[in-house]
Amino acid sequence: MTEVRVPTLGESVTEATVATWFKKPGDAVAVDEMLCELETDKVTVEVPSPVAGTLSEIVAAEGDTVGVDALLANITEGAGAAAAPAAAAAPAQAAAPADAAGGANVDVMVPTLGESVTEATVATWFKKVGDAVAQDEMLCELETDKVSVEVPSPAAGTLSEILAAEGSTVEASAKLAVIASGSGAAAAAPVAAPAPAAAAPASGGKDVEDAPAAKKAMAEAGLSGDQVTGSGRDGRVMKEDVARAIAAGASAAPATPAAAAAPPRAPSAADDASREERVRMTRLKQTMARRLKEAQNTAAILTTFNEVDMTEVMAIRNAYKADFEKKHGVRMGFMSFFTKACCHALKEIPEVNAEIDGTDVIYKNYVHMGVAAGTPTGLVVPVIRDVDSMSFAEIEKGINVMGRKARDGKLTMADMTGGTFTISNGGVYGSLMTAPILNPPQSGILGMAKIQDRPMAIGGEVVIRPMMYISLSYDHRIIDGKGAVTFLVRVKEMLEDPRRLLMDL
C-alpha cells in the first residue's frame, strides 16, 4: 500500500482545498498520472500518482481542506494492481524484462546547498519525463536565497519520474527525480511511450476535467471549453490558457467588421488583467527585499556625501594601464583605487568596519570587502577577503573572478558571507548620485557615482575636471557624524593624491 500525501505547497502556505478528483476508487493508475488537483490561496497544485497500481481509497474528498503532508489517498500496487484492465497491465509486463536486463532506478537528490541553507526552490526543469539523459547532463536548476544550483544527472538513462515540480520548495537532500538507468532504460522508453496515446481515445479530448480556476475564468469571460486550447495534461485547460484566449480575442477584435461597428466601451478590470503578467519573485530577490527592509527597520541609516576630483587617478591609470595588464594579466580599473583608499580610511575610523551584536560592538581588525554586482537574477555582493593585505593587481584579479562567477551564477554561499564593508558602484549604470542601503550586519557602505566633467573653481580659475560624487551610508547607532565625514574625506584625499596610498598617509 502506497500513501498519496499533500505535496509542499509553497513558502508560508500551510493548507489547500481538494478541488477535483480525476480518479475514483478501483481505477487503475500509472506512475505520474494525475490523481487530483488542490487549490491554495495563490496557486493550483496537481497531485500525480507516485506508483502504478489501483486507487484503493480516497481519504480526502472534494471540498475538504487539507494541510501539508496530509493523507489524500491510498494506492495498491503489485498484486493488488493485477485486477486493472489488460491494456494497463500490458506495458507493465513489457517493462519487466527490461528491468531484468540490467536496468536500475537512480535517485536524483538535492545537492549540498551551502552552510546554513536548508531549502531551495525548483526554478526550471530542462528535461521532462520520458526524455533520455546523459550522465552529468543538467536536469534542473534550483534557487536558494543567494545562488542558483545546477543539478546534473547522476547516471545515463531515461528520466522516469519528477517528484518536485517547478516552483516547489525542497529541503536539502530531498529526492527530486528518478532516473531509469542501464539497458533497461533504453528498452522501457519505446514500450511505455504508446501508453498515453492508447489512453487518449478512451478519455476523449474534452472528457478531461478542466482546472477549476480555468472554469471560473471561462465563466467570467463568457468562453466555452471549445474556444480555449488546453496546454495541460491530456489537453486540460488551465487558467493561463484562458488568459491567452482572452488576449487573442482582444487582439483579433479590430479585424472583425462587427467589432469595428460596435460602440466603444470603457476598459474593464478583465481587460487590464489580460495584459498583466504575474511572475513569482526568485528566492534571491525575496531574500534581498527582506534583508534591505530589515536594514531600514533595524539600523539608524544616515548618508553623507562628498565629491572627488578623479584627475590624478585617471592620469595614473592612463599612463600605466598597458604595462599593468601586460605584467599582471588583468586590466587596471578604478575599483582597486577605491578599495585601497577605503582600507586606509577604515584603519583610521575603525567603527566603520565594525558591527553591533546585541549590546556589544565587534571591531574587525581585517577588511573583507563586499563588492555589489548586478546580475540578471538580482543584486549580489561577493566578498573579497583580506583586501587590506592585497596589492592593486590582486584586488583587480579578485574582483574579476567574483564578477565572472556572479554573471555565470556560480557564486557559493562562502563567496557572499563574512563581509565587513561594501562598495556599490552605481556609476556603471549612469547614476549621478546614490545613497545605498546598508548590507547588514555591516555598518557602512560606500556609494560610487558616474564620472562627469564639471566646471570647478581651482586656484581662482574655472577649469573643467572629471568629478565623481561619493557617499557613505552608515549606521548612526555606532558611527557618529564626525567619524562618517572624516572617513569620506580621507577617501577623497587619497584618491585626489594617490601618492598618499603608496606612503600610507
104-181 against 283-502: fold identical: no
Fold of 104-181: OB fold (Dihydrolipoamide Acetyltransferase, E2P) (2.40.50)
**For position 284, what pLDDT does the model report?**
66
Q: What is the pLDDT of residues 264-292, one digit of tens each?
A: 666 666 667 777 888 777 766 777 777 77
The angle formed by the CA atoms of residues 153, 156 and 162, to the nearest 5 degrees, is 50
C-alpha cell belonging to residue 460: 581662482
Return the closest-CA partner of residue 488 out of 316, 336, 341.
341
Q: What percent of the chain has pLDDT over 70?
A: 78
Structure confidence by residue, pLDDT tens digits, 382-441? 899 999 999 999 999 999 998 888 887 777 777 888 899 999 988 888 888 888 888 888
C-alpha–C-alpha distance, residues 168 and 10, integer Å? 6
Choose, from 136, 475, 476, 504, the residue flagged as catalytic. Answer: 476
pLDDT tens-digit map of 286-332: 777 777 788 878 888 999 999 999 999 999 999 998 999 999 998 98
Question: Does 476 participate in catalysis according to the annotation?
Answer: yes
Q: What is the pLDDT of residue 47?
A: 86
Lowest mean pLDDT of 48-62, 229-243, 319-333, 350-364, name the range: 229-243
At residue 89, the pLDDT reads 37
For residue 349, what pLDDT band results from cuts at 50, 70 and 90? very high
Cell of 185: 532504460
User: Count of CB atoms within 10 A of residue 191's CB?
Assistant: 16
Return phi, psi of residue 471, to 5°. -140, 155
Residue 317: Cβ within 10 Å count: 18
Task: Supply the pLDDT for residue 251.
Answer: 54
H helix intervals, 29-128: 86-100
Q: CA angle at residue 251 from 249 to 255, to 5 degrees? A: 95
Q: Which residues does residue 464 pair with via DSSP β-bridges, in sequence order?
A: 455
- H or E segment and range at residue 361: strand 360-363
What pLDDT, on the 0 to 100 scale, is given for residue 252? 54
Gap between the Cα atoms of 397 and 390, Å rounded? 10
**Rounded Cα distance, 258 and 475, in Å:** 65
Predicted pLDDT of residue 421 = 95
- pLDDT for residue 40 is more than 80: no
Q: What pLDDT sits at residue 398?
A: 92
pLDDT above 90: residue 471: yes
Determine how many CB atoms are found less than 10 A away from the CB of residue 100: 11
Looking at per-residue pLDDT, the higher value among 416 and 75 belongs to: 75
Give tens-digit pLDDT for 59-73: 998 888 888 888 999
**What is the rounded average pLDDT for all residues in the chain?**
79
pLDDT reading at 201 higher than 70: no
Q: What pLDDT score does 345 carry?
A: 94
Catalogue the E-assigned strands of 59-155: 65-67, 71-76, 104-109, 119-125, 132-133, 138-143, 148-152
Three cell numbers written together for 235: 489537453
Q: Are 74 and 1 in contact (CB under 8 A)?
A: yes
pLDDT tops 70 at residue 243: yes
| Domain 283-502: homologous superfamily in CATH | Chloramphenicol acetyltransferase-like domain (3.30.559.10)
- The pLDDT value recorded for residue 226 is 77
What is the arithmetic mean of pLDDT over 195-209?
A: 44
Helices (H) and strands (E) in the chain, counts: 13, 26
How far is residue 388 from each of residues 175, 220, 268, 321, 341, measured CA to CA in Å?
44, 64, 60, 22, 10
| Residue whose C-alpha cell is 538580482 | 378
DSSP annotation of 190 reads H
Quick one: CA torsion of 192, 196, 198, 201, rounded to 10 degrees? Answer: 180
Give pLDDT, residue 462: 95
Residue (of 448, 446, 449, 392) closest to 419 by Cα position: 446
In the predicted structure, residue 480 carries a pLDDT above the cut 90: yes
CA atoms within 13 A on the CB side of 74: 6
Residue 39 DSSP SS3: strand
How much is the average pLDDT of 226-233?
73
Contact 13, 45 (CB under 8 A): no
Q: Residue 197: its pLDDT value, please?
A: 38
Query: Would you state the cell numbers that stand for residue 205, as one nine-digit string?
Result: 479530448
- pLDDT surpasses 60 at 204: no
pLDDT of residue 283: 67
Convert the pLDDT of each residue in 7-23 to its tens digit. Answer: 877 656 678 888 888 88
Beta-strand ranges (E) seen in 172-214 are: 175-181
Is 445 in a helix, a strand, or coil?
Answer: strand
Q: Is 459 left (phi over 0), alpha (psi -120 to 50) or beta?
A: left
Give the active site residue among 41, 69, 386, 480. Answer: 480
Q: Tell me: pLDDT of 209 over 70.
A: no
Active-site annotation holds for 480: yes
pLDDT digits (tens, 9 = 90+) for 94-122: 333 344 445 688 889 888 776 556 788 88
DSSP 163: -
Helices (DSSP H) in 207-329: which residue ranges?
212-221, 239-252, 257-261, 269-274, 283-298, 311-328
pLDDT value at residue 347: 93
CATH no. for 1-84: 2.40.50.100
User: Tell me, what DSSP letter sits at residue 235?
Assistant: G
Q: Which of 197-206, 297-306, 461-470 has the highest mean pLDDT?
A: 461-470
Instruction: Locate the domains of the chain by residue range.
Output: 1-84, 104-181, 212-274, 283-502
- Please state, for a pLDDT cut of 90, what percent of the chain lies above it: 28
Lowest mean pLDDT among 123-137, 250-264, 319-333, 353-367: 250-264
Sign of CA dihedral 413, 417, 423, 426: positive
Look up residue 438 and give its amino acid.
L
